[in-house]
Amino acid sequence: GLRAALDLRNGGVLARDLHELYAYVTLRLTQANLKSDEGTLDECVKLMRPLADAWISISPATTAAA
């Protein structure tokens, strides 16, 4: 998963913050699944959307088109 790809030893604060975010989102997704709670899913999307958008914005296809 996403947490396994993080280099916590050399990644500094960013890696630690992402590790904590991924752990939190994983917990919330599990809770959403157990309770069939769409609101919790929405929370997870709101938390992860900025990261997804950032990755999309730096993808090779995006930078080549610019």
DSSP the chain: -TGGG--TTTSHHHHHHHHHHHHHHHHHHHHHHHHT-HHHHHHHHHHHHHHHHHHHHTSHHHHHH-
Whole-prediction pTM: 0.81
Question: Shortest CA distance to 18 belongs to which of 28, 29, 4, 3?
Answer: 3
pLDDT per residue as tens digits for the range 2-48? 889 999 999 999 999 999 999 999 999 999 999 999 999 999 999 99
